[in-house]
Structure 1
């Protein structure tokens, strides 16, 4: 009977040690969870998930409104830029064959809608003249010279800049 008693004591000792190890492991895991919970709670100031969700939705709505305002501002700026004078285009030419060189010119000051003005200077040995003609949509109510049409065409196609000197 003594052997059974010794055997039972050994088994109970093993079970006790195993239980002690499990208890220590469980306490360590619980401590880790508590640390995580405290960190999460510090970040969100509350453990209330509904409050966190509400704040997130409010921030998202505010960002959507700000984005809409920025889009409107961008649209307004794009429209304003389209109404500003684009890069000026110029065509130089010799207005009077056999006299001087290509000192006459036509310059277009137009926006992206081809609205603005075309200015021409006709150079002669005795006198020079300057003309300004309003342009709307690439056309003018005044008769346009070939050089003025060329410079307006250059404004309509900004990649095709060329110098035109008649022969």
Structure 2
């Protein structure tokens, strides 16, 4: 009598048992895959410990970090030296072409400023005329010269110090 009560539900019980079996099978595959992954990790760790002592590996790592920190400090010091050296190099030379004499009719005269970041360097000017041309240079310190500067020379020095041409006839030399 006890089992006869279940007889109308045998199909339902069989379906539930099949679903439960499939779920168990999926869980078993997931567990096997995770187990295999853990085993691979464990084998890699075992290879490390079998070939080297972990304390020694830790000490070697600390030594490598110390060496890298030393190299980083050396690189930072070298970078500071390079930045200081760049301040005394011509960074952005500029040229200004202009017409010094109205009878010549073209922008054949020019001034070139070759100054560093502190405004020290030289300005070179060439004046072109029909009969002759004159080229001369003036020392520049702190963006000014002990010699009288023309407006064109002042303009080209200022633009070289700014690092970008401001007027249409001024250009940076690359």
TM above 0.5, yes or no, is: yes
CA contact (8 A) 2:125 2:136 kept: yes
Matches within 5 A, 1:1-167: 39-43=44-48, 45-46=51-52, 48-164=53-169
CA contact (8 A) 2:159 2:166 kept: yes
How does the TM-score come out when normalised to structure 1? Answer: 0.68
How does the TM-score come out when normalised to structure 2? Answer: 0.66
Q: 1:41 to 1:116 in 2, by over 3 A?
A: farther
1:58 is paired with a residue whose SS is helix
CA contact (8 A) 1:89 1:109 kept: yes
RMSD: 2.4
Q: Structure 2 CA distance, aligned partners of 1:109 and 1:143?
A: 17
* Aligned residue pair count: 133
CA contact (8 A) 2:95 2:113 kept: yes
Unaligned runs of 5+ in 2: 1-34
Unaligned runs of 5+ in 1: 1-28
1:106 is paired with a residue whose SS is strand
Q: Structure 2 CA distance, aligned partners of 1:113 and 1:82?
A: 7
Query: 1:155: Cα distance to partner?
Result: 0.6
